[in-house]
Structure 1
Amino acid sequence: MNEKLQYASMLDIPVNTCTITYKPVKKRRFLKKRKSVSDDAKSALMNKINSETDFGERAEENLVNDEPVVETADAPEVVAAPEKKEKNKKRFRISAVAIELAVIGALIATIAITNALYPASGLNAFFKSVFKGGETVAATDDRAYTEFSPVFAANDGKGYVLENGVATMPAAGSIYAAVDGKVEKITYNEETKKYSVRISHSDAFSSEIAGLDFAYVVEGGTVYKNLPVGYAKESGSTTCFFGENGAVISDFEIVDNAVVWAA
């Protein structure tokens, strides 16, 4: 520094000099506070950035899964559409029931008016034929025995033997009814240890099979001529026919196991 001044004085160059002193800077207490404030600001900023990053990642995942992005922290969860759909469904059900009731009421009113104003109409005739006809068929079956064609089933190549209106099967085997019908009564003889089955074919015609060692039917059950009624051992079984008022029918013949009524 002195050499430069000497060299300047030799060259007659005006020179100004000054003295610079450095003082140590004292650390102030509020700097710590400012530092803590800056640290809080940094942490808040980092938290904000992290939250935005997490939200962005969740948005990308929802877009991949075709789901809407909903920020649960800020937006409340609202589910209104399903309630509207349920209300709409309930209203539709109520309206459908109301329509059905209205249609039924209109139909009943139409039938009532038709019965009152047009007693001879086709609708009234149809209902009368359905209900009255069914009741008549179910109530009575007055067919006579001559309207039936009984056929016996042979056992072991042997046919029935007819004597005084009693058809006897001398061979052992399964016994069949000659005509379809309904089991009216089953009796068991303690002395002979045999069963007797009374079968009703109509209100005016029935038959009875006696001498069965085993009975395969029950009272009130239906009997078919192709299904066995019971089983008889070597002693065989007998079959009798009854007409109106329970009278035994004897004026018939058996031809090739078929019953032929007398003219």
Structure 2
Amino acid sequence: MLSGDEMRRYIPQCCAIVSHYPYHSTLKECLSCLCPHVEKSLTEMTAFIKEFAYVITHTPVPPAGNLRVNFRLYDLDLILLPPTHPDKPVIDLELHLVFLCFNAEEFLKILSCILVEERIVFLSSNYDLLTMFMESLMHLILPFRWKSKYSTVLPSNKIDYLKTPGTFLYGVHSRHTKDVEKVANLVIVDVDNGKVITTDQNLCKREHTKSKGAKRRIQLPNIPTQIANLFVDKMSQVNRKFALSGTLRPNSFKNSEEHNLEIKKRILDQNKCITSICQELIADLFR
């Protein structure tokens, strides 16, 4: 019981998992299992966090190859899949989600801007979506690797970094859209609305309303028509194939571990198809 002069105060707390390995989806599932336990007593919550940390830190990461690691976190069955090659990072993302945000034509604009190292800002009202989208792009440009400045979430107090010279890939919350549009020579990728524009186009529209002078624009690099059409056709076939695959087999009534593995395998197969198509595209561009 509190006395008349006392007041109960609640202090926000944060739990983060830091890892050298990009198991984005798996680590998100691990954090999600904490949610039902946040209202426990302090003693119970402390014991829960200790056991949680013990399981996470003592779970081995599989090497490249066919070996996977299954582990159980309370009532949650989890699977760590290995990377396909020692020189490649593991893909623990659903790459097809990129093509739910953008059609194949708009995706090619983004890819071409990355390949020529433009200054690119990704906007979204969802921080998780920013991370998923930008990390997926890093997989889809392989064997190339982005070596310049990169951050999936640029803090609000660091927006001035957009004015620095050089190339970069930054993720910014959409509430800063007006600040981003004031910076010249940027390519803006609006993830929420599936659009790719440049800040020069926005600035020129304002200037054009005041005077009918010549407009200055950044020209987005274009993928050759034949290569682009081939990519669009292949991606439409892959999307159709996996969208209809669930109708070609009976529902699974296996245990949860086998069911989770089946889902992981389907995502892995789809990721392989998408990465293969993107690698063929890049090979055709530099042939």
Fold conserved between structures, TM > 0.5 = no
Give the structure-1-normalised TM-score: 0.22
> Of Structure 1 and Structure 2, which has the larger fraction of its residues in strand?
1
Which of the two has greater helix per residue? 2
TM-score w.r.t. the length of structure 2 is 0.21
